Amino acid sequence: MRPTPYVSPTRIDIETRADGALILTNPHPLQMAFDNVCAPLAHWASETPDKIWLCGVENGEWQKISYEKGWQIVQNLAANLEKVLERGSVVAIASGNSLTHAFLTYALPLIGCIPAPITPAYSLKASDPRRLRGAIEVLGAKAIYFEGENFARALDWVKDDGLVILTNKLNAKTNLALDNISELSFDGDAAIAKIKPQDLCKVLLTSGSTGVPKAVAITHFNLSQNAAQIRSTFDPIKEAQIWPDGIVMINHLPWSHSLGGNAILHMITHSGATLWIDEGAPTPDGIKKSVEAIKLVKPNYHNTVPLGWSLLANELEHDEELARALFENLVIMQYGGAALTQDLYERLQILARKYCGDTISFAAGYGATETGPTACNIHWPNTIMGLVGLPVPGVIMKLLPHNDKLEARVKGPGITPYYLNNTQKTQEAFDDEGFYILGDALAFYDAQKPELGLKFNGRLSEEFKMLNGSFVQVSSIRLGIINACDGLVSDAVICGEGMEKLGALIFLNLANCQKFIGEPLGLADLSQNHEIIGAIKNNLAKLFDGKSATQKVTNFVILPNSPSIEEGEITDKGYLNQGRCRDYRADFVKQLYNAQAIEIFEG
């Protein structure tokens, strides 16, 4: 396996309490953190002024921003924002990832304001203002930033709400256009010195995978410490040998979620590394932009959600130029947001061996918006997919017996202190020892070898009871379906609460299904295709043969489209909200229990 810059060997300390709870800690030391999120930008501007911090597309051309230039832009932007914003204001950023979005992320905290990135889907894809206005209300935002030419409708939705309107281009409704700001002096070092660890540096909305989104308060201490926790899983000596120029990443994961905005954008800034802002996305159309960007950048670290890896694998298998560009410098592949299948892992490693002569370590992280996000990660060479890793340095994990599972709770410096404007939810989020309640069940991959890591064992809130009163472990059934269907299925919604039998709503993997039948059909046609139906039916018959009722899906319906971000079925980071899918697709759920469903075991 190609050498990695991780610390080694992997270790974990475990204490067993009298009540059966397990307390897990990582004995590796926590590296020193910067005092606040703005400090690393100023530091690297001084230490490595000419090194590239960010690269982004503006007016169709890649623009390279050094640490020195970036720090100058951020300070000037802060001086101009100070004229229109009151200290303490939450500023909603309704923009995708961009250079200006990044500059705002670091300029606003310099003047005591708080950036709150929200998914642009609420503005660009929404047909009404409900979600945008709901986000603004939850955040208590006093200002909002829109970027691009396509926000005219969203501007109309909020023009009378008393918000300060920021845009990147001059507009009649704008209080400040960022392409038309003055050159003003600003003492960034003095501003950094005034920042207190408990001051907010960002607010993020939860993905809504467990209900109505909440506004997660993130302090300078939280984000700085979590970046240091991630960095503490790297060995500086190995890193200098393997990455003499540091991390170079091209990434599309949205900054409106903690994986993209914290674990990537800020980890890169904390490390003095280089981030190219990918305009692509993990969609059949969006992957095309990612492909061209990878060919240009030739990254040494690549991180995306499993769907993104699946789409990329399809491209890699027939594009030699892309494969050589990706694997030439690559040291780490990483995924988050959901589990990567073992089959997809093997496909990618076949390509790695072909184009670089070796396998490449596949990392993964685990956590929540509230945990920084990184509470656990796999920071060692690993061939087992579906693991969440082990606690990062500084995190204390409690595994509490819950029925026949272990419920995960965590405590550490990266964890939010509260939800903004929501005392009740804050109180509900922590137990009496101050551990944040993740709501997930975890299990050791091998109880006799805990150092191999933990695996996800389902969301406790997703479990339901059948008519016989037995609990259904939704996560294991869902993953079983995905893994059993040879890449044809992208996800599945498990149904059957209060019923005698389990059913599944199936989302298809467009690219793999098209490849399987050799025709470029859309999802609606593929959902009716007899070859696709037959292949899925045969695979599920093998998977569920002989299983008990609580582990056995008997009927399925193939859905004619993809899960909807706008309707809350899936988040930007790719996590499927089972409950929301069942509610939104109630008519399809009904079909599972009538003649329209496909029976796996006929007769």
Tell me, letter by letter, the H, E, C secondary structure of 67-85.
Answer: HHHHHHHHHHHHHHHCCCC
Residue 444 lies in a domain: yes
Query: Do 120 and 173 share a domain, yes or no?
Result: yes
CA distance 486 to 560: 19
Kindly state the percentage of the chain with pLDDT values over 70: 98
Domain closes at, from 194, 228, 256:
194
Query: Do 448 and 507 share a domain, yes or no?
Result: no
Query: Do 188 and 281 share a domain, yes or no?
Result: no
The tally of domains found in the chain comes to 3
**pLDDT band for position 169 (cuts 50, 70, 90):** confident
Residue 247 lies in a domain: yes
What's the pLDDT tens digit per position in 87-142?
A: 999 999 999 999 999 999 999 999 999 999 998 888 877 777 888 998 999 999 99
Query: Do 144 and 19 share a domain, yes or no?
Result: no
CA distance 109 to 107: 6
Residue 4 lies in a domain: no
Residue 211 lies in a domain: no
Q: Which residues contact 547 (CB under 8 A, 6 or more apart)?
A: none
For residue 185, the domain's CATH number is 3.40.50.980
Average pLDDT over residues 322-351: 92
Query: Do 359 and 247 share a domain, yes or no?
Result: yes
Q: Which domain holds residue 354?
A: 13-35+216-459
Residue 147 lies in a domain: yes
Residue 209 lies in a domain: no
Q: Quote the tokens at residue 316.
A: 């890699």
Query: Do 242 and 189 share a domain, yes or no?
Result: no
Query: Do 233 and 302 share a domain, yes or no?
Result: yes
pTM of the model as a whole: 0.86
**Residue 117: what are its φ and ψ, rounded to 5°?**
-65, 135
pLDDT exceeds cutoff 90 at 329: yes
pLDDT exceeds cutoff 70 at 208: no
Residue 201 lies in a domain: no
Query: Do 260 and 343 share a domain, yes or no?
Result: yes
Residue 483 lies in a domain: yes
Domain closes at, from 441, 459, 477:
459
Average pLDDT over residues 66-91: 97
Of 394-408, 409-423, 558-572, minimum mean pLDDT range: 558-572
Domain closes at, from 459, 493, 517:
459
Distances (CA, A) of 212 to 209, 268, 462, 579: 8, 31, 15, 12
Query: Do 443 and 467 share a domain, yes or no?
Result: no
